[in-house]
Every structure is written in structure tokens, then in C-alpha cells.
């Protein structure tokens, strides 16, 4: 028996998890299944339970059919449903057949739901009581249920004759109550419920706002179908944040850890956006081609192009990251677009003025000012600084409005990635810059 009392042990535990993960990620590049078979049964079971549905499915499919049953039966129905969704269609029936009758029925019901809605995340096993029971009866009743369906229980739900939830009480409340109190007297009747088609993002907000450990899921008729627990939501939240971050960086979501993603699949997920952005950015060459004669007459103008367009791109990245994240957290909704716009007009003008001023001073105080910029350095400084102000304002506006616009037409706001916004602002920045140049320099440099 391991002695968990030593401080050493605390560290060993953590290292163990790390080492297992390390071993697994090594296995990922070798033959996973061989590595798995080398583990003793108990370690293999712990390991199997800790894997994602995708990895569990991969292992299961490599086992001979007669050995699959004991593995699949270790999983609760919601995890089995997740696993089956990772398995090729022709293998699904064989896996369903390995389940006991009750679980098979539950899993089949779960498979009807999309993976990313409340119904697809819920467990159909929860603790139920009846309002007319006494606290003592309810505890005895729960003990029996729990013996049949070994799932963790957080709350006990009181259902009416139609299977509709009418109250909830925590085990704590049940324990605290005098033994002969009726459940109906102590249960809370104001329930937080999730409909089975509630999207997982909305569900995670419901958890955040309610601070509950479990939320019951009901169908269209209000009948209770299961519960979603906060540890299931933890995975969802991490997954969504990863997807959003990757999209925002201009990559299609990888759906697997970086080091475990196949090289070709990673190239595909990156090349797509990169080529789209490249084609978009070609417009900068066209735009500059249009101003070729201006550049030939005043080469000095070309020097500031990267500075001006990148400042717009940077401001755009800032604005889009703030709005995308605020939308993901539900802090900003589409109807807030006007408030966001007003804020970003203010922010864009202020930030533009700051950068414009620095740019202006930079040109005026540059040591080689006269040889580099010639006699019209003041006009050049004005052109650069006015362009900076407008490009920064434009960056703030497009960066903040693009996510809202994308959502409006049904896309993921996170697709308004930093590179996307930068490309948009680059092209328009060049036009803005040369417009100011012809305004200020016509007759002198141009």
C-alpha cells in the first residue's frame, strides 16, 4: 500500500501524472497500442479512464472483439457516447452490443444529441427522490439507487409523476434536515434548468452565473433527461478557448495537441488561411503599383509604409482580441455594437493621436533629417502623422466591428484573426497614406 503521507509522495503523484503524459506523447509517435499493452491491468485501467474519447476509441479498436467488453463497460454512458462518436460507423454496432441492456439504451438516447449541446454533454444517471419522502427515507432511497448506478451524486432531484423536475436538494441539506422532515418542505423549488439543445457556450455561462456543480437537462416537454456536471464543462471551456485562440492566430482549430498533430494535417490547417491572406495581401502590391509614379518621384514616402500599415494592424489586433473574448464570455452581444463602436472611435482617435505625435517628432528630430527627407521634411512629417492617426482609427474600427459582423452573418467571431485584420488594414492603409501624400505634397514633392 502506498503511503500518501510523505511530502515526497505529493510530488511523486504529480510527477507520475506528468510521466504518464510524457510516456503517452512518446507512444503517440511510436506504436501506442504496444505501449498500452505493456502496462499492468490496474495501471492500464487508470490510464484508459484518463484518456480522451478519441484515444480510448483508438485503443479499443485495436483490441480483439472479445476483450473489448470489460474496457467499454468501465465507462459511464456519457463517456461511451463520446467514444462511439470517434469510431467509424461500421464499428459502432459492435461496441453498442458489448454494453449491458440499460446502458445501451442510455447511450443510444445520448447519441441522438449533438456533441456540443447540453443533451450531448449530460449524464443520464442522477439521483432522484420524491417530494413526499422524509429525509430519512430519501437517504435510504438514495443509498439503494447509488448501489445500482454507481455515479457520483451531487444533488438529488425531486420529480413529479410526469418526470418533470419540481425541486432540488443537496445531500448536505438532506443530511442537515431533521430525519422526519418531508423532502417537499426542504427542497429548493427555483430551479436552474438547461434545455437539451442548449449550446455548450451558453451552458458554460449558465454554470458561471449560477455557481452550481450540476445542472439538470430537460427536453421540450420539460421532462428531466439527465444532468451536466461542472467537470464536464471544464473540458468544454478549455477546448473552446483553444479553438478561439488558434482561430485568432490565423490557424484552423487543430482538434489535437500540437505535438500529436500529423505534419501534413498541420500544414493543411495553416496553409489554407495563409494562402487566403497572401492573396488578399497581394492587393498591397496592386495598390502600391497604382502609386508607383508617386513613389518614383519621392522614394522617401516608401520608407514609412511598413510603419504606418503595421500600426493600423496592431491596433486592429488589440480591438479584435478584446471584442472576440468579450463575446465568447457573453460580456458583449451583437446588440452592443453601437456601444463598442463609440468606445473604439474614442480609443482609435486617442491611440492614433499618440502614435501620430511620436511619428511627427521622430521625423523632426532625426539626425540625418535633411539628407534623408530633404527640404520638405515638415510636409512629410505631417503626411506620416495624419496617416497614422487615420490608419490607427481605421484599425480600431475594423478590428472591433469585424467580429460582430462575422457573427451577424453566421461565422465564428474568432475568425476575425490578427492576421486577417492586419491584412485588411494593410491594403486600406496604403490607400489612406497615399491619399494624404497627394493632399499635402502635391506641388512640392509630388
Binding to its own copies, residues 244-263 (CB under 8 A): 244-246, 248-251, 254, 257-260, 263
Q: Which of these segments, 33-41, 59-67, 80-88, 347-355, binds its own copies (CB under 8 A)?
A: 347-355
Q: Which strand (E) or helix (H) includes residue 321? A: helix 305-328
Angle (nearest 5°) at CA 330 between 324 and 336: 75
Helices (H), 177-229: 183-186, 200-210
Q: Which strand (E) or helix (H) includes residue 61? A: helix 53-62
* CB nearer to its own copies: pick between 74 and 97: 74
Report the length, in residues, of the chain: 446
Q: Give the contact letters, 104-143, x = binds to its own copies (CB under 8 A), - = no.
A: --------------------------------------xx
Which member of 30, 90, 180, 211 binds its own copies (CB under 8 A)?
211
* CB nearer to its own copies: pick between 95 and 118: 118
Question: How far apart are alpha carbons 202 and 77 in whole angstroms?
Answer: 23
Q: Helix (H, G, I), strand (E, B), or coil: what is residue 292?
A: helix
169 close to 156: Cβ distance less than 8 angstroms: yes
**φ, ψ at 198 (rounded to 5°):** -65, 130
* CB nearer to its own copies: pick between 154 and 377: 154
433 close to 305: Cβ distance less than 8 angstroms: yes
196 close to 113: Cβ distance less than 8 angstroms: yes
Q: Helix (H, G, I), strand (E, B), or coil: what is residue 216?
A: strand
Which member of 172, 338, 365, 409 binds its own copies (CB under 8 A)?
172
**In angstroms, what is the minimal distance from the CB of 364 to its own copies?**
14
Which member of 109, 191, 405, 431 binds its own copies (CB under 8 A)?
191
| Positions in 16-45 near its own copies (CB under 8 A) | 17, 21, 25
Does residue 320 belong to the site contacting its own copies (CB under 8 A)?
A: yes
**Total of chain residues touching its own copies, rule CB under 8 A:** 148
| Positions in 382-421 near its own copies (CB under 8 A) | 417-419
Residue whose grid cell is 493543411 = 268
Q: Which of these segments, 80-88, 99-107, 204-212, 436-444, binds its own copies (CB under 8 A)?
A: 204-212
359 close to 388: Cβ distance less than 8 angstroms: yes
Amino acid at each position: 500500500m502506498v503511503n500518501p503521507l510523505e511530502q515526497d509522495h505529493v510530488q511523486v503523484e504529480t510527477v507520475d501524472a506528468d510521466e504518464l503524459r510524457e510516456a503517452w506523447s512518446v507512444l503517440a509517435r511510436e506504436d501506442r497500442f504496444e505501449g498500452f499493452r505493456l502496462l499492468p491491468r490496474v495501471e492500464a485501467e487508470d490510464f484508459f479512464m484518463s484518456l480522451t474519447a478519441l484515444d480510448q476509441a483508438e485503443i479499443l479498436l485495436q483490441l480483439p472483439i472479445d476483450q473489448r467488453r470489460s474496457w467499454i463497460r468501465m465507462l459511464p454512458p456519457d463517456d461511451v457516447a463520446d467514444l462511439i462518436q470517434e469510431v467509424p460507423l461500421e464499428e459502432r454496432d459492435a461496441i453498442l452490443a458489448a454494453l449491458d441492456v440499460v446502458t445501451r439504451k442510455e447511450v443510444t438516447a445520448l447519441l441522438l444529441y449533438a456533441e456540443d449541446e447540453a443533451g450531448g454533454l449530460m449524464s443520464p444517471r442522477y439521483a432522484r427522490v420524491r417530494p413526499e419522502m422524509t429525509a430519512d427515507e430519501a437517504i435510504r432511497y438514495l443509498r439503494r439507487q447509488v448501489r445500482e448506478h454507481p455515479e457520483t451524486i451531487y444533488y438529488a432531484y425531486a420529480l413529479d409523476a410526469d418526470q418533470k423536475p419540481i425541486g432540488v436538494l443537496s445531500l448536505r441539506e438532506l443530511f442537515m434536515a431533521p430525519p422526519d422532515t418531508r423532502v417537499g418542505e426542504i427542497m429548493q423549488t427555483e430551479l436552474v434548468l438547461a434545455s437539451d439543445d442548449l449550446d455548450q457556450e451558453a451552458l458554460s455561462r449558465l454554470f458561471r452565473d449560477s455557481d452550481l456543480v450540476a445542472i439538470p437537462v430537460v427536453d421540450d416537454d420539460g421532462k428531466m433527461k439527465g444532468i451536466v456536471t461542472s467537470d464536464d464543462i471544464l473540458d468544454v471551456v478549455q477546448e473552446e478557448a483553444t479553438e478561439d485562440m488558434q482561430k485568432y492566430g490565423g490557424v484552423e482549430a487543430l482538434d489535437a495537441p500540437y505535438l500529436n498533430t500529423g505534419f501534413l494535417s498541420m500544414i493543411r490547417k495553416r496553409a489554407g488561411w495563409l494562402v487566403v491572406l497572401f492573396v488578399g495581401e497581394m492587393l498591397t502590391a496592386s495598390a502600391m503599383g497604382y502609386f508607383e509614379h508617386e513613389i518614383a518621384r519621392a522614394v522617401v514616402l516608401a520608407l514609412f509604409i511598413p510603419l504606418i500599415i503595421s500600426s493600423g494592424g496592431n491596433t486592429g489586433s488589440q480591438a479584435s482580441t478584446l471584442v472576440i473574448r468579450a463575446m465568447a464570455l457573453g460580456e458583449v452581444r451583437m446588440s452592443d455594437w453601437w456601444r463598442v463602436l463609440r468606445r473604439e472611435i474614442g480609443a482609435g482617435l486617442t491611440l492614433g493621436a499618440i502614435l501620430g505625435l511620436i511619428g511627427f517628432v521622430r521625423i523632426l528630430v532625426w539626425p540625418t533629417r535633411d539628407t534623408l527627407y530633404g527640404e520638405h521634411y515638415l510636409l512629410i512629417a505631417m503626411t506620416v502623422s495624419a496617416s497614422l492617426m487615420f490608419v490607427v482609427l481605421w484599425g480600431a474600427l475594423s478590428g472591433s466591428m469585424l467580429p460582430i459582423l462575422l457573427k451577424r452573418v453566421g461565422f465564428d467571431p474568432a475568425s476575425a484573426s490578427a492576421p486577417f485584420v492586419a491584412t485588411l488594414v494593410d491594403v486600406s492603409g496604403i490607400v489612406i497614406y497615399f491619399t494624404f501624400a497627394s493632399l499635402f505634397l502635391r506641388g512640392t514633392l509630388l
